Structure 1
Amino acid sequence: MAVVDVSEELKSLSSTMGSIEAVLDLEKMRADIAVLEEQAAAPSLWDDPDAAQKITSKLSHLQAELRKTEALRGRIDDLSVMFELAEDEGDADALAEAESELIAVRKALDEMEVRTLLSGEYAEREALVNIRAEAGGVDASDFAERLQRMYLRWAERHGYPTEVYETSYAEEAGIKSTTFVVKAPYAYGTLSVEQGTHRLVRISPFDNQGRRQTSFAGVEVLPVVEKTDHVEIDESELRVDVYRASGPGGQGVNTTDSAVRLTHIPTGIVVSCQNERSQIQNKASAMNVLQAKLLERRRQEEQARMDALKDGGSSWGNQMRSYVLHPYQMVKDLRTEFEVGNPQAVLDGEIDGFLEAGIRWRKQQEK
């Protein structure tokens, strides 16, 4: 790499880093950390476990974000020294090392830049993910289960806690539906680009004639409701059903009627939860899911009114990604054109490339 090219590249990196630092507002971040550290040190912190968890989680996230930002700034500043020393000493190995670090820094910078593109009223929230099998019979149920595993593995790779609220198992294989939460700041802003219909094309392992099958699964991503949202639900508008939780193939996982199904009569929204042993706990979790769905419904209605005022808003087809396992191997996003030739890696949770492309695409649509 020519010296002039390196100099320009380093200037570009530093400029981009400056823009990121401005958006993240590092001084405010440090001030927020100081406030949260004071709250976390309070003797009464765990009197309210839910509030305590939110405080410690947000503190941990902000501290990690600040460390990551400061470390990347340090790497950018060190690059100029690395190249200068390599040039002065005519050391080919040192030059190769500096060029390798330059590529790595550019990649890390691109990834961090995506974080600054997250916007919207609920972007900072945790994410509530619903997956349901659609057309395709047993293959669709199997695909829905593979998508659940994909997102849970993605969260695991990033160290994000998750909790599965409910899973409805299909008769032969896979699942009819599932609901789980990803407990990390900005999980909603990040995963919301996954919403839509996912399509799988493969030789069906459930077809004794070995034919190629196409199946579909729907993904819905909602922001987790917080106390400040004021989503009022009149108990008289709810139908509450209790039943015995079950596992794969109808296997009983609970010997009491602790699972809870809530039906919101005015909207027809139905949610259920069976992960807890207590009926009271399951009802509380189901209420959280119902509130999230009602909050999203309200958001969509508000967006529809805004779009009407603007004589229509941007939209895209509901089908958003194809996973092809036969006759060739490819996963392709139908909005961004981003594609990967290793479906197994994607289904194992390596979806950051799709998330980044989706976030950039969405930001472009907003302009």
Structure 2
Amino acid sequence: MKKIAGLLLLMTAFVTVGAQPSSDFFTVNADSSVVRLTEKGASLLAALPLKCIEQEYPNKTSHTSASDSDHVLTPRQLHPSFYGCFDWHSSVHGHWMLVRLLRLYPHLPESGQIRAILDSSFQPARLLKETEYFDSRYNASWERTYGWAWLLKLDQELIEWKDPLARRWHAALQPLTNNIKDRWKAYIKVQTYPNRTGVHPNTAFGLAFALDYARASNDTGFAAAVKQHAMRLYSRDKQAPSSWEPDGSDFFSPSLMEADLMRRVLGPQQFMKWFNNFMPANGLRHLTVLPHVSDRSDYQIVHLDGLSLSRSWCMQGIARVLPVTDLRKKLLQRSAVQHLATSIPQVAGGNYGGEHWLASFAIYALSAVE
């Protein structure tokens, strides 16, 4: 609790977004192009997944029961590795966050606790049970594609971290990773239309993380399939209706998430041509207006804090591929910092509806622009 209370000090660090806000918790370089979390900030944010990864309840399993005996299984019985943090996908990206922090900040005071928790979750027998869940009668599309995306992002982090323990955890995760990857390859063949939503099924988000994983794992066939699918779904899009955003429970911007995918798929010149046709100037300016979060105790409305964080990582990624002379580059960089500055103080707001997942979004926005 002391760590979580300390995280509230982030509020004083982010109250004013002036020229270049900075503090003990984060730094921003002179032109707003790079925002970095400090080790102190990382330590404080680590407290949130450390608190909830082994917290079984409250829990939203989204489980489809096949029988009486199946219906009464507890979250831990269903998911021995990823049962905490309210739901499966939040547990998965909580694990990703802890691996990410160990990799970037190996000397965190919490590193021993983090390693012990992760080592428990990555036990081969537990992960085989997780894998078997997807093979049961009603679960072929379970967690498609949001949970799938975060599972591949977790494995990507293990691949890129050159540590003996990470290699052992990566090996244990492979049955589940390969199961998810096979399901994704099958789904790409039958998905006719993209999901242009601001919540979990958003297709562009899932494909972006899938492509990151495919490249990190040198799976050229999977990468080619993802890129081809993205081009089929999105290459002809023009005049995104971004002025309609956000919906009331969005944690993604559908238009920014699509652009963040396409900057991965297209070369710089191709992306510029596509982006010029896709994103109207007034729509882009509209997306720089901060979301209003009216009730953070509401598990749906608090999604809007996540929207600020995901907008930030999309804006940072898009800005990086725009030319220095493009006025949109500076607009996106400054807005990315402002979105971070507004929402990071809310990550530890005292309500489990946000605390069980927002820290992962914050860490990705602060450290993981691909």
TM-score band w.r.t. shorter chain: under 0.3
Higher relative contact order, structure no. (Cα contacts within 8 Å, ≥ 6 residues apart): 2
Larger % of helix: which?
A: 2
Q: Which has the larger radius of gyration?
A: 1
TM-score (ref. length: structure 1): 0.23
TM-score (ref. length: structure 2): 0.23
